[in-house]
């Protein structure tokens, strides 16, 4: 009886035929590799995101007035709301991370080469969509960082010549960051981009079925457009294995580990934010983007001003165009990274650059530390045994917010140089000139300091050196023993 029902369903739905052409399709035995698990891992994360995202949408209110409260409600009132938020949050981190591993593997293994150009291109579209999801998702967590993140986005768009204002208003859905802005990003995050991802993932998988999984590349076996497809067919005949159950084994183990990883992080680290209400009048804030965008934040701090607008507007377009063009620029030839030194080095350089920029972004040395002047301790060794004038200078140093940019004893801003040994580098005259006139990216304090304050400050700074060191002096100045 059961068998009859099964057969009836199969006859109507063609389940076994679909199974044979998808799950049962033949893949090269060499594709049963631990390097080939990242694609399915990314897809798994996406499915987790859909399920947890739908759960969040049951409660979340995409309104500028209510979003923050509904997030707090999810965190503290809705049973297990914190868990769903944490799963969605960590799921997105895992998704971006695993997707980048997948992309790196595909690049290093030459899998984007003939005849899989479109697989790569659809993958690049998925990369852009996923990063779009990460950014718009950060906006859904409608807090101070989300608000000022939108401000940064608008300021970048505002640099577009001619139609800049129109693009800003299109992005914000009005003249300021407000209710319609959140609605707009909600639409992107929940309807437009996920719809695109589902469509493009379908194409991506269809292409994997039609053009086959890349065989594990061997050095010395270059891709030739005339012979490749025939060779691949022969390879499948000779040593092809069905995707299920052979090649899927490692995917399954990896997927299980990924799920456990997300579960572990979600349970033990919880959801992030929301931090600070999205109230622009609360200006005591230090806006930072989420982890994956920190490196862009760093780039924006470090670019020279004359290049900035040009690079903000052209670099993303050039970068994406290069990714799209890659399979046409090097569509044939060696696949193995053992024979592609430029490709291998590019990956190393990109990882290093993005890694260092991200690291810099985590403590952003280019930003003044807004509370250093009032909050950071003055090391005792810099005030002990000092004259009243020098102590007065130490007060000026704190009160005039010098500490926000200059550290002493490791505390304070890193925007300007640390001043622990400034007396061994600059003479009294040089110190006064620098303070009054500024320069070298330091503001001039001439208008804000009275002559006695300047004298006190200079006297204090002349004491900033190790006890064994003597301060530098003008060549015309006679040496004074002691000071």
Partner 1 sequence: MNTKESESQETNNSGVSRRGFFLKVGVALNALAASLIAVPLIGYVFSSFTRKGPYQSWISLGPVVDFPEKHTRLAKYRNPFTRPWDGATGDIPCWVRRVAGEEFQVFAINCTHLGCPVRWFQDSRLFMCPCHGGVYYEDGSHAAGPPPRGLYQYEYKVENGVLWVRGGQLPTLSEPV
Please, which of residues 98-117 interact with partner 1 by CB under 8 A? none
For the segment 398-457, give every residue that binds partner 1 (CB under 8 A).
399-402, 404-405, 415, 438, 441-445, 447-448
What is the torsion angle, in degrees rounded to the nearest 10, for the CA atoms of residue 210, residue 215, residue 221 and residue 223? Answer: 20
- Intra-chain end-to-end CA distance of the chain, in Å: 103
> Toward partner 1, which CB reaches closer, 69 or 470?
69
- For 124, 373, 405, 425, 465, the CA distances from 417, given in Å and listed in that order, are 42, 16, 8, 12, 14
Q: Which of 73, 216, 291, 366 binds partner 1 (CB under 8 A)?
A: 366
Under rule CB under 8 A, residue 275 binds partner 1 = no
Under rule CB under 8 A, residue 211 binds partner 1 = no
Q: Which of 303, 343, 347, 391 binds partner 1 (CB under 8 A)?
A: 303
Among 426, 381, 376, 429, residue whose Cα is nearest residue 402: 376
Under rule CB under 8 A, residue 358 binds partner 1 = no
Binding part of the chain for partner 1, among 133-141, 191-199, 234-242, 296-304 by CB under 8 A, reads 296-304
Backbone angles phi, psi at 408, to 5 degrees: -130, 130
Q: Which of 23, 47, 54, 158 binds partner 1 (CB under 8 A)?
A: 158
Q: Which of 30, 63, 332, 430 binds partner 1 (CB under 8 A)?
A: 63
Cα 56 to Cα 228: distance, rounded to the nearest angstrom: 47
> Toward partner 1, which CB reaches closer, 125 or 402?
402
Minimal distance, residue 79 CB to partner 1, in Å: 26
> Toward partner 1, which CB reaches closer, 90 or 148?
148
Q: Are 297 and 356 in contact (CB under 8 A)?
A: no
Cα 272 to Cα 258: distance, rounded to the nearest angstrom: 20
Classify residue 477 by burial, with Cβ atoms within 10 Å: 0-12, 13-18, 19+: exposed
Under rule CB under 8 A, residue 65 binds partner 1 = yes
Under rule CB under 8 A, residue 175 binds partner 1 = yes
- The answer for 478, left when phi > 0, alpha when psi is -120 to 50, beta otherwise, is beta
Q: Which of 286, 318, 322, 356 binds partner 1 (CB under 8 A)?
A: 286
Size of the site for partner 1 (CB under 8 A): 71
Q: Which of 1, 2, 226, 283 binds partner 1 (CB under 8 A)?
A: 283
> Toward partner 1, which CB reaches closer, 305 or 479?
305
Minimal distance, residue 377 CB to partner 1, in Å: 19
For the segment 306-345, give every residue that binds partner 1 (CB under 8 A).
308-309
Q: Which of 115, 231, 270, 287 binds partner 1 (CB under 8 A)?
A: 287
Classify residue 1 by burial, with Cβ atoms within 10 Å: 0-12, 13-18, 19+: exposed
Minimal distance, residue 444 CB to partner 1, in Å: 7
Q: Are 152 and 287 in contact (CB under 8 A)?
A: yes
Q: 75: which 2 tokens?
A: 């965190």
Backbone angles phi, psi at 358, to 5 degrees: -65, -45
Q: Which of 59, 235, 347, 370 binds partner 1 (CB under 8 A)?
A: 370
Minimal distance, residue 378 CB to partner 1, in Å: 16
Minimal distance, residue 19 CB to partner 1, in Å: 37
For the segment 137-156, give every residue that binds partner 1 (CB under 8 A).
147-148, 151-152, 154-156
Cα 1 to Cα 7: distance, rounded to the nearest angstrom: 10
Backbone angles phi, psi at 4, to 5 degrees: -60, -45
Binding part of the chain for partner 1, among 85-93, 367-375, 379-387, 470-478 by CB under 8 A, reads 367-375
- For 96, 150, 168, 313, 319, the CA distances from 155, given in Å and listed in that order, are 26, 8, 8, 12, 21
SS3 at position 425: coil
Minimal distance, residue 281 CB to partner 1, in Å: 4
Minimal distance, residue 168 CB to partner 1, in Å: 6
Q: Which of 3, 281, 380, 481 binds partner 1 (CB under 8 A)?
A: 281
């Amino acid at each position: 009886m059961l068998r009859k029902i099964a057969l009836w369903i199969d006859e109507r739905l063609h389940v076994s035929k679909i199974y044979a052409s998808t799950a049962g399709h033949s893949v090269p035995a060499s594709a049963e590799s631990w390097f080939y698990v990242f694609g399915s891992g990314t897809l798994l994360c996406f499915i987790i995101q859909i399920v947890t995202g739908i759960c969040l949408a049951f409660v979340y209110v995409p309104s500028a007035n209510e979003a923050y409260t509904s997030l707090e409600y999810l965190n503290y009132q809705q049973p297990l709301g914190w868990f769903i938020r944490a799963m969605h949050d960590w799921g997105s981190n895992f998704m971006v991370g695993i997707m980048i591993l997948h992309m790196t593997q595909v690049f290093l293994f030459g899998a984007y080469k003939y005849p899989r150009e479109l697989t790569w291109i659809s993958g690049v579209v998925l990369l852009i969509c996923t990063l779009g999801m990460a950014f718009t998702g950060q906006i859904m967590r409608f807090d101070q960082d989300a608000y000022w993140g939108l401000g940064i986005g608008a300021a970048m768009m505002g640099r577009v010549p001619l139609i800049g204002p129109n693009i800003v208003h299109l992005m914000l859905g009005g003249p300021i960051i407000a209710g319609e802005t959140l609605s707009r990003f909600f639409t992107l995050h929940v309807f437009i981009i996920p719809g695109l991802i589902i469509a493009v993932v379908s194409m991506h998988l269809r292409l994997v079925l039609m053009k086959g999984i890349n065989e594990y590349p061997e050095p010395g076996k270059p891709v030739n457009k005339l012979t490749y497809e025939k060779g691949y067919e022969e390879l499948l005949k000779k040593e092809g294995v069905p995707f299920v159950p052979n090649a899927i084994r490692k995917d399954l183990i990896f997927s299980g580990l990924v799920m456990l990883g997300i579960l572990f992080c979600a349970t033990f680290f919880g959801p992030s934010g929301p931090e600070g209400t999205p109230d622009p009048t609360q200006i005591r804030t230090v806006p930072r983007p989420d982890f994956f965008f920190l490196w862009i934040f760093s780039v924006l701090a470090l670019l020279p001003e004359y290049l900035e607008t040009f690079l903000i507007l052209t670099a993303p377009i050039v970068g994406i165009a290069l990714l799209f063009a890659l399979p046409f620029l090097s569509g044939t030839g060696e696949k193995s990274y053992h024979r592609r030194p430029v490709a291998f080095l590019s990956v190393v350089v990109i990882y290093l650059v993005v890694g260092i920029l991200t690291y810099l972004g985590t403590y952003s040395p280019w930003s003044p530390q807004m509370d250093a002047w009032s909050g950071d301790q003055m090391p005792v060794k810099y005030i002990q045994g000092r004259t009243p004038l020098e102590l007065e200078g130490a007060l000026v140093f704190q009160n005039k917010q010098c500490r926000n940019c200059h550290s002493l004893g490791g505390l304070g801003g890193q925007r300007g140089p640390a001043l622990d040994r400034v007396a061994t580098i600059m003479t009294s005259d040089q110190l006064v000139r620098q303070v009054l006139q500024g320069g070298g990216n330091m503001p001039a304090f001439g208008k804000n300091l009275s002559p006695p304050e300047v004298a006190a400050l200079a006297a204090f700074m002349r004491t900033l050196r190790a006890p064994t060191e003597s301060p530098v002096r003008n060549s015309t100045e006679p040496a004074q023993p002691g000071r």
